[in-house]
């Protein structure tokens, strides 16, 4: 695996390898290699708390040296192109780039780079490390994906998490369903849309999505009414009470309490929302370690 750009590019074997590697690191059964001679640059062109901070901690735990980069103090502000920024970081010694960008499939214009890219989220496209940490969290609960009933609720059209998880979890054998307002459906994804109240009692995982206001036009934003949305598509206490005993609740965060999920349910017994955040750091350690080991093996092969 040279890069991590999209869940579409990962085989099910690679998915299993990455989550098992992350789980072993978490349990202390695997001590990953230290990369004290390697440099990483995190290019976050969109705001982020969980993804950016967990990558930072993962990189430091692996011994990587961080190249300081902030978009608001870089030459991006002088009109430098996205490609030239990335190429510059490659030339000054970066061994891997972690990138989040508002442009969907931004990585298509970076094909001539000679260092690995890890996609930290591209527009409404993909968020592969989020999908992998979600898969890891589900695996910790069920040890399998075959036949699991998974309901993803919310802003499907604008969610890179919905796209990534639908593709990966379906490939792993889960039954993925969507529930969404009509305007936020994505017909390019071949999943059934259901009424949340007709399926909630036999769902194994209910995954709530943040409403992506920043990707809506002004009409959608001004007409949005949080209380109505919560009653129609959110996880209310009444819906939570209908979940079976082994069901779990997930959310990629940031959570809008009282919109996607009732305030009191964020840390309820079935919630794994903060567990997802914890797993994110271990998963990102596993991804970086795997990619750098692959790159090192290729380099050694060339030397031989």
- Rounded to a whole number of angstroms, the distance between the first and last alpha carbons of the chain is 20
Ligand-binding site membership of 21 (annotated)? no
Query: Tens digits of per-residue pLDDT, 197-233?
Result: 999 999 999 999 988 766 666 555 556 798 999 999 9
Structure-token pair, residue 95 = 């061994």
Q: What is the CATH number of domain 129-272?
A: 3.40.50.1370
Domain coordinates in residue numbering, the chain: 7-127+278-303, 129-272
> Cα(137)–Cα(143) distance, rounded to whole angstroms?
10
Q: In this structure, are residues 67 and 40 in contact, taking their beta carbons and an 8 Å threshold?
A: yes
Ligand-binding site membership of 127 (annotated)? yes
> Cα(203)–Cα(181) distance, rounded to whole angstroms?
19
Global pTM reads 0.92
For the segment 262-271, the average pLDDT, to the nearest whole number, is: 97
* Positive/negative CA dihedral, 47, 49, 55, 57: positive
Ligand-binding site membership of 34 (annotated)? no
User: Nearest Cα to 260, choosing from 286, 237, 229, 294?
Assistant: 229
Ligand-binding site membership of 239 (annotated)? no
> Cα(90)–Cα(41) distance, rounded to whole angstroms?
9
**CB half-sphere exposure, 206, CA atoms < 13 A:** 33
Residue 192 pLDDT exceeds 70: yes
Query: Tens digits of per-residue pLDDT, 92-145?
Result: 999 999 999 999 999 999 999 999 999 999 998 899 999 999 999 999 999 999
**For all residues of the chain together, what is the average pLDDT?**
92
Ligand-binding site membership of 50 (annotated)? yes
The architecture CATH gives domain 7-127+278-303:
3-Layer(aba) Sandwich (3.40)
Ligand-binding site membership of 257 (annotated)? no
Ligand-binding site membership of 251 (annotated)? no
Query: Tens digits of per-residue pLDDT, 43-90?
Result: 999 989 999 999 999 999 999 999 998 888 788 888 899 999 999 999
Q: Note the pLDDT of residue 211.
A: 85
Ligand-binding site membership of 78 (annotated)? yes
DSSP, residue by residue, 71-102: GGGSGGGGT--HHHHHHHHHHTT-SEEEEEES
CA 45 to chain centre: 16
């Amino acid at each position: 695996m040279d890069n991590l750009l999209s869940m579409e590019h990962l085989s099910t074997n690679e998915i299993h390898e990455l989550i098992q590697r992350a789980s072993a690191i978490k349990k202390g059964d695997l001590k990953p290699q230290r990369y004290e001679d390697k440099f990483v640059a995190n290019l976050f062109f969109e705001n982020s708390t969980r993804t950016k901070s967990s990558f930072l901690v993962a990189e430091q735990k692996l011994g990587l040296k961080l190249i300081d980069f902030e978009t608001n103090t870089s030459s991006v502000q002088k009109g430098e192109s996205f490609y030239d920024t990335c190429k510059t970081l490659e030339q000054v010694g970066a061994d891997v780039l972690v990138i989040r960008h508002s442009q969907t499939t931004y990585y298509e214009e970076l094909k001539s780079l000679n260092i690995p890219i890890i996609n930290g989220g591209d527009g409404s496209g993909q968020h592969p490390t989020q999908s992998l940490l979600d898969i890891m969290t589900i695996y910790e609960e069920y040890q399998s994906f075959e036949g699991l009933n998974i309901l993803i609720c919310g802003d499907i059209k604008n969610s890179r998490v919905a796209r990534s998880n639908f593709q990966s979890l379906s490939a792993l054998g889960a039954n993925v369903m969507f529930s969404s307002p009509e305007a936020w459906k994505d017909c390019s994804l071949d999943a059934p849309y259901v009424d949340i109240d007709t399926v909630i009692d036999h769902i194994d995982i209910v995954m709530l999505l943040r409403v992506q206001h920043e990707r809506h036009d002004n009409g959608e934003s001004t007409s949005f009414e949080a209380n109505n949305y919560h009653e129609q598509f959110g996880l209310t206490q009444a819906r939570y009470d209908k979940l079976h005993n082994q069901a779990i609740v997930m959310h990629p965060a940031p959570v809008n309490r009282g919109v996607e999920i009732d305030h009191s349910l964020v840390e309820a017994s079935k919630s794994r929302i903060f567990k997802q955040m914890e797993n994110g750091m271990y998963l990102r350690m596993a991804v970086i370690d795997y990619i750098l080991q692959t790159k090192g093996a290729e380099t050694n092969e060339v030397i031989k």
